[in-house]
Amino acid sequence: MQLTNLNWPAIQGLSKETPVVFPVAALEQHGHHLPLFTDSLLLGEIIRRTSERLGGRVLFAPLLWLGNSDHHLDFHGTLSAPPRAYLDVLAGMMENFIQHGFRRLVFVNGHGGNEVPGRQALFEVRQRHRERHDLLLLFATYWQLGARPWETEPDLQQRQMAHACEWETSMILRLAPQLVVGDLGKLEAVPTGSVFEPAARGWTTRDRTVPGHIGDPRTATAEKGEALFHAFTNDVVALLERVISWDGKAWNP
């Protein structure tokens, strides 16, 4: 079900156990070869495939394309919500649907920079409603749900998501190849490593890359992109099936 296509009495009439999904992504630079809307295009496709498989059992809000992307602002075209404003927007969307009686609220995320504010928003809303024990508030980043896409597509070189990398470039080649610019073979590989792990280090994207991408887009193909979409969609569907079958109160379902 798409929130944008329904009227308010229809929403009022839904079971309040219906999971509500808020897709959140970004509009930010993705190197010389991918469009600024990459994260939103990719998550939109995963949500489209997911909603086809779940039919009327889940309510999908429209994708929020403005994300937390201040770390990319050295690169032209990036649009970023101020981080504290973004946190309040995410919390506010949860509060809206809690006010409407819904209990199962799930952010499905397609941009790394949204993770910290997303988790903080869950934390704050949960504490604000601390007397409630019937709320399920979740934040899930689609590539962090356990997928091991290289097991079905052994040609994949990367083992984790990077930025405008083999994985993202492959998915854009599958979804919108006309938006991939230039000769991928002329790009360079940009390593993802951090010498201060396991400490978390504050960073800007310019600290890590000159062209804007991180990872190796040279080996991207549309076939790999289809395998990635398939694996990630399976994970999002499986998560939402768990949300649907949750009994409404258990901490350990």
Enter the DSSP assignment of 1.
Answer: -
Is residue 140 within 8 Å of residue 155, measured between CB atoms? no
**Scanning residues 81 to 110, which ones bind Zn ion (CB under 5 A)?**
none
- Long-range contacts made by residues 75-80, C-beta under 8 angstroms, separation at least 24? 75/28, 75/29, 75/205, 75/206, 75/212, 76/29, 77/27, 77/28, 77/29, 77/36, 78/27, 78/28, 78/29, 78/36, 79/27, 79/28, 79/36, 80/26, 80/28
Select the residue interacting with Zn ion from 19, 23, 25, 39 (CB under 5 A): 39
Report if residue 166 touches Zn ion, rule: CB under 5 A.
Answer: no
User: CB of residue 89 vs Zn ion: minimum separation in angstroms?
Assistant: 20
- With CB atoms as reference, the residue minimizing the distance to Zn ion is 39
Question: Residue 39 or 235: which CB sits closer to Zn ion?
Answer: 39
Q: Which stretch binds Zn ion (CB under 5 A): 32-40, 137-145, 186-194, 238-246?
A: 32-40
Instruction: Choose the binding region for Zn ion from 35-43, 87-95, 141-149, 174-182 (rule: CB under 5 A).
Output: 35-43
Q: Which among 14-22, 34-42, 73-81, 91-99 is the span making contact with Zn ion, rule CB under 5 A?
A: 34-42
Whichever of 3 and 179 has its CB closer to Zn ion, that residue is 179
Binding span for Zn ion by CB under 5 A among 3-11, 38-46, 59-67, 83-91 = 38-46
CB of 160 to Zn ion, least distance (A): 13
User: Would you say 229 and 45 are in contact if contact means Cβ atoms under 8 Å apart?
Assistant: yes
CB atoms within 10 A of CB 146: 10
